[in-house]
Amino acid sequence: MYSLYSRSYVAFGKKQRILGVAAKNQQTTNIENTITGFKRFLGVRYEDPEIQAALKNPAFPFKITSVDGMAGYEANVFGEKQKMNAIQISAMLLTKLKETTETAIRAKVHDCVISVSFYKIIHHSIEYFFFSEINVVGVWL
């Protein structure tokens, strides 16, 4: 079962994708393929000073890389090296949350509200972040 109170974890194994508490629990045995803290890299360019500082930080055991100019991650997904950006990883987590919620309430979920931290608004370009996220969900202005 997925806990809504745990930090966001996504892990990749040879045959499965693991999300939430299960990913957190197996982090010690699969440290390079367990990704956490990805939400703060949403909409952030690879050249951003925050990303460059994270590259030097030993607290990030996974590989941070450039994916189309944006901050991304490299992991072994189903036995193959793949690069994914924070938006793709967030989509995996949101899909799991949607499935879990639908199971719990026994109804289809059509809409949701996603909040953006104040930190994002202050430290990153509002226009870039807003329009890139809007394009991900398929809303065109």
CATH fold for the domain made of 9-108: Defensin A-like (3.30.30)
pLDDT tens digits, 41-75: 888 888 988 888 888 877 778 888 899 888 889 99
- Cα-based angle 6, 84, 127 (whole degrees, multiple of 5): 85
Q: Which of 31, 135, 45, 40 is nearest to 89 (CA)?
A: 40
Task: Kindly tell me if the per-residue pLDDT of 140 is higher than 50.
Answer: no
Q: How many H-runs (helices) and E-runs (strands) does the chain carry?
A: 5, 6
pLDDT tens digits, 99-128: 888 999 999 988 877 765 655 555 555 555
Tokens of 58: 């030993």
Q: Are 26 and 18 in contact (CB under 8 A)?
A: yes
The separation between CA 35 and the C-alpha centre of its own chain, rounded to angstroms, equals 8
Instruction: Write down the pLDDT at residue 60.
Output: 74
**56: three-class secondary structure by DSSP:** helix
Instruction: Write down the pLDDT at residue 41.
Output: 82
Instruction: Write down the pLDDT at residue 139.
Output: 46
Instruction: Write down the pLDDT at residue 129.
Output: 55
| Cβ neighbour number for residue 81 with a 10 Å cutoff | 9
Q: Map out the domains of the chain as residue ranges.
A: 9-108
